[in-house]
């Protein structure tokens, strides 16, 4: 299996081919986004944007810039909600061994398994009663249901690695539980906090079902929903549809490039998305 690097570069070539094959749909998205509408109805399709056009991006930005801003707001707000719930919970479960930690862990593990269609059906009925349909607040809370269990499981695993002696020392110096939490545990968990935030952001950015179900009209339209509606509305301008898809991919790509360390940490923690 693992053998000395005798055939190293040959494997690199195979790796490149595999990688290119798997990423082909993403290449195709970019290719189509740059292809003229008149060239899109060619058979066979053009493999490269021979006469590239940015008119798709023009239309995509004109129509969907607001949706990108909405998505950004929702995703950032979801990060804050997630951390507000998950940080104290993780501390209580890992370091304070608060009563009920075990049961809570069980619920959180199972919560990750609940089909989103189950949650959204009930949330629709609940939001209807509470008047939370079509509100940013309601949508952010719904989006956080994907990231809260993940964040707690990740954070509490990390906090377990903080030596108890450190917290004991703080206590002897007169720091209460809250102060120990804010001044020691949270700063020390910085890396895990960044990873949890990053995935909370990506989950919320990628949400489609909650937005589709819990909002209506044009009041709150995140980019995923805008893209979905765009498919129907712009059946002839697929370059604009694909340009919107490219725009919707920017955050994930940026994070992957600039925060690769944190992404890797989340991925190995068994980061999962549905």
Partner 1 sequence: MAQRMVGATGPATVERDEDYRLAARRRAARHTKWASFGFLVPVAVYAMVFFVYPIVRTGQLSLQDYTFMSYFTGQADFVGLANYGTIFGHLLFPKVVVNTVAFTVVSLFFQFALGLALAVFFSKKFPLSALFRSLILVPWLLPVIVSATTWRWMFYKDYGIINSLLGTHIGWLSDPSWSLWAVIIANIWLGIPFNLVLLYGGLQAIPEGLYEAAALDGAGPWRQFGSISWPLLKPVTMVTLLLGLVYTIKAFDIIWVITRGGPVDSSQTLATWSYKLSFEGGTGQSLSLGGTVATLLFLVALALGLLYIRTQRKEMLS
Closest contact distance (angstroms) between CB of 238 and partner 1 is: 6
Closest contact distance (angstroms) between CB of 79 and partner 1 is: 15
Q: Which residue has 């608060």 as its token pair?
A: 98
Q: Rounded to whole angstroms, how far apart are CA atoms 77 and 195?
A: 16
Closest contact distance (angstroms) between CB of 190 and partner 1 is: 19
Round the CA-based radius of gyration of the chain to a whole number and report it. Answer: 23
**Residue closer to partner 1, measured from CB, 15 or 66:** 15
Supply 62's token pair: 């004109």
Q: Rounded to whole angstroms, how far apart are CA atoms 68 and 72?
A: 6
| Residue partners of 234: CB distance under 8 A and separation at least 6 | 59, 240, 241
Closest CA to 151 of 74, 203, 209, 224: 203
Closest CA to 153 of 15, 42, 248, 272: 272
Length of the chain: 274
**Residue closer to partner 1, measured from CB, 77 or 108:** 108
End-to-end CA distance of the chain: 32
Closest contact distance (angstroms) between CB of 22 and partner 1 is: 5
User: Does residue 35 contact residue 46 with C-beta atoms inside 8 Å?
Assistant: yes
| Residue partners of 116: CB distance under 8 A and separation at least 6 | 146, 209, 210, 274
Closest contact distance (angstroms) between CB of 58 and partner 1 is: 19
Closest contact distance (angstroms) between CB of 74 and partner 1 is: 12
């Amino acid at each position: 299996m693992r053998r000395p690097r005798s055939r190293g570069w040959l494997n690199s070539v195979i790796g490149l081919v595999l990688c290119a094959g798997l990423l082909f749909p993403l290449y195709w998205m970019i290719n189509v986004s740059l292809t003229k509408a008149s060239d899109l109805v060619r058979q066979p399709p053009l493999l490269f944007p021979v006469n590239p056009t940015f008119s798709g991006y023009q239309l995509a930005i004109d129509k969907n810039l607001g949706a990108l801003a909405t998505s950004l707001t929702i995703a950032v707000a979801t990060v804050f909600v997630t951390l507000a719930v998950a940080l104290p919970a993780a501390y209580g479960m890992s370091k304070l061994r608060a009563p009920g930690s075990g049961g809570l862990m069980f619920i959180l593990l199972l919560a990750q398994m609940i089909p989103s269609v189950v949650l959204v059906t009930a949330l629709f009925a609940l939001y209807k009663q509470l008047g939370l349909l079509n509100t940013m607040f309601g949508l952010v809370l719904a989006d956080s249901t994907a990231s809260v269990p993940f964040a707690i499981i990740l954070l509490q695993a990390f906090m377990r690695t903080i030596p108890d002696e450190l917290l004991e020392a703080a206590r002897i110096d007169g720091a209460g539980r809250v102060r120990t939490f804010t001044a020691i545990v949270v700063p020390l968990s910085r890396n895990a906090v960044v990873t949890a935030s990053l995935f909370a952001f990506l989950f919320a950015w990628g949400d489609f079902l909650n937005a589709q179900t819990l909002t209506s009209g044009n009041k709150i339209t995140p980019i995923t929903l805008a893209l979905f509606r765009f498919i129907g509305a712009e059946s002839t301008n697929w370059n604009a549809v694909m340009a919107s898809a490219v725009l919707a991919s920017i955050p994930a790509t940026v994070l992957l490039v600039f925060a690769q360390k944190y992404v890797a940490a989340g991925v190995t923690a068994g980061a999962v998305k549905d």
